[in-house]
C-alpha cells in the first residue's frame, strides 16, 4: 500500500491544469524584440508577482531566462495574482509565437496551476 501512495504522490507533482491563455502585454516595451530569434514555442516562462507595482496592484511580470518580456494583461491577471499571493505553484510557457505588426498578437502564453 505504501508503494501505491508514493506513486500517486509522484504523479500528482506532475499534474498541471491550464488556467489562462493570454497575449503577452507590453512585449514592445521590454526585451521581447531583442530575444525574439532565441525564444521558442514551449519555452518555460517565469512569473514574478509585483504587488507593489504603482500602475497595477495585481501585476504579474513575465520573464524568459531572466529577461523581462512584459506582463499578464491587466484585465486578466487578478486570478493568477491571487493564486501567487496564496503561495500556489504556478507555471507558464510560450504557447504560440508569430510575427505580427500588432505586438499583442506576437506571443501567446499559457499559465498553469501545478498540483
User: What CATH number should be reported for the domain holding residue 21?
Assistant: 3.30.70.2330
- Mean pLDDT for the stretch of residues 7-20: 70
Mean pLDDT of 8-29: 79
Q: Is residue 40 part of a domain?
A: yes
CB neighbour list of residue 111: distance below 8 Å, 6 or more residues apart:
18, 19, 20, 21, 22, 47, 72, 80, 90, 91, 92
Check pLDDT > 60 for residue 2: no
- Do the domain assignments include residue 7? no
Would you say residue 4 lies in a domain?
Answer: no
| Residue tagged 504587488 (cell numbers) | 51
Amino acid at each position: 500500500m505504501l508503494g501505491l501512495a508514493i506513486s500517486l504522490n509522484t504523479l500528482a507533482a506532475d499534474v498541471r491544469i491550464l488556467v489562462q491563455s493570454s497575449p503577452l502585454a507590453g512585449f514592445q516595451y521590454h526585451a521581447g524584440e531583442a530575444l525574439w530569434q532565441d525564444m521558442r514555442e514551449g519555452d518555460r516562462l517565469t512569473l514574478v508577482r509585483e504587488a507593489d507595482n504603482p500602475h497595477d496592484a495585481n501585476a504579474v511580470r513575465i520573464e524568459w531566462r531572466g529577461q523581462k518580456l512584459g506582463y499578464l494583461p491587466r484585465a486578466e491577471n487578478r486570478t493568477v495574482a491571487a493564486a501567487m499571493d496564496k503561495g500556489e505553484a504556478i507555471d507558464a510557457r510560450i504557447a504560440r509565437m508569430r510575427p505580427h505588426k500588432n505586438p499583442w498578437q506576437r506571443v501567446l502564453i499559457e499559465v498553469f496551476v501545478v498540483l
